[in-house]
Structure 1
């Protein structure tokens, strides 16, 4: 599991976990240990997670963090409401940097192929060294550190969270039709 900042820098990589373990069991293990997580995070910090963490969201809340995750589509519902879709977009806007970091990590030849069992005891050290090297040599994933531009973009996205969806209203009222009149 990786602790990444919104600009793509990796703070830490936690543990080595088997492929059969899902995100929730990994996070559950980490929240029970707490030490590595507490080193970097403070109560009130926002944790951007993917849907694999749905079972552990409550544990993050209990630790004082604010977990944010894209919303699941309820059974029988064909699409998200406008507010749900906008909330999911906000999470995705930040989450892509984490995915981009993982893609950078996997581009290293050592991690792109099968890893021999004899290297397993040193694997955690290798991951941390490569993470530090990526931070140092590659820099942040978001290159434009123009905070004025980023602030405007963030404001635009948060303003659109509460904006009414007029097109959806027209469709629900039956005022839009595919047939010509």
Structure 2
């Protein structure tokens, strides 16, 4: 399958930019996030796969580098790049889960090494939609000509202003597709269980096969655009609306 199936359904070499724009792009995402023509919007996110905790005497370094302090478990981290309809363009990894392999570091590694020919495929002003965990890789993305769409940070403030909050909602409206794809990947039982140590070397192969099967035989996460124009118009109309509740709380004394 890795030779005669996966290359036809996964990877930047299996699909053209024009095919992504014409067949795998959500009009809602395009209208909300960019006004430039012929732009590809890539939604990027990492996920995790649990692996068996090793006996300390076996391989202490691997145990340390796969132990995730947030999940309190041993795991490895794949990274997926999808279109705005949830079509999987590429799957990378898995990577170790120590502090050297945060989402931003993984994205830098992919770009620096031009993995899967990603730099030969993207064009100037293509848009990368990422979460705040990618903040340390946005500089490199912009240096390579990509535009980046990421929620703002509070930066010691108590709350976002209305415009920042509304823009963050735009991004959340687009980013959910990659979360949906992460869930689809874990519909494969082997990838959703604790993976045995003896099969860790095969994780990459099984991940790529699973992603290729999803592309080949499942409908995209977004397959109908019937009401997208209405949703887009409503969201754009409310983009610059002030926070009326906040204004009322500031101007009135509550009893």
Using structure 2 for the length normalisation, give the TM-score.
0.63
Instruction: State whether structure 2 residue 233 is matched by structure 1 residue 155.
Output: yes
Instruction: State whether structure 2 residue 183 is matched by structure 1 residue 103.
Output: yes
RMSD: 1.7
Instruction: State whether structure 2 residue 203 is matched by structure 1 residue 123.
Output: yes
State the alpha-carbon separation in 2 of the partners of residues 74 and 157 from structure 1: 26
State the alpha-carbon separation in 2 of the partners of residues 55 and 40 from structure 1: 22
State the alpha-carbon separation in 1 of the partners of residues 181 and 198 from structure 2: 26
1:39 Cα deviation from its structure 2 partner: 4.7
Segments of structure 2 that go 5 or more residues without pairing to the other structure are 1-78
Which of 46, 55, 76 does residue 136 from structure 2 map onto?
Answer: 55
SS in 1 for 2:93: coil
Cα shift readout 1:109-145 (whole Å, capped 9, x = no counterpart) = 1111122333333322211110111122221112323
Cα shift readout 1:78-119 (whole Å, capped 9, x = no counterpart) = 211001101100110011110111011112111111223333
Q: 1:34 to 1:155 in 2, by over 3 A?
A: farther
How many residues end up aligned between the 2 structures? 174
- More strand by percentage: 2
1:16 Cα deviation from its structure 2 partner: 1.9
State the alpha-carbon separation in 1 of the partners of residues 120 and 198 from structure 2: 30
State the alpha-carbon separation in 1 of the partners of residues 146 and 231 from structure 2: 25
Using structure 1 for the length normalisation, give the TM-score.
0.87
SS in 2 for 1:16: strand
Which of 3, 6, 10 does residue 88 from structure 2 map onto?
Answer: 10
Instruction: State whether structure 2 residue 144 is matched by structure 1 residue 144.
Output: no
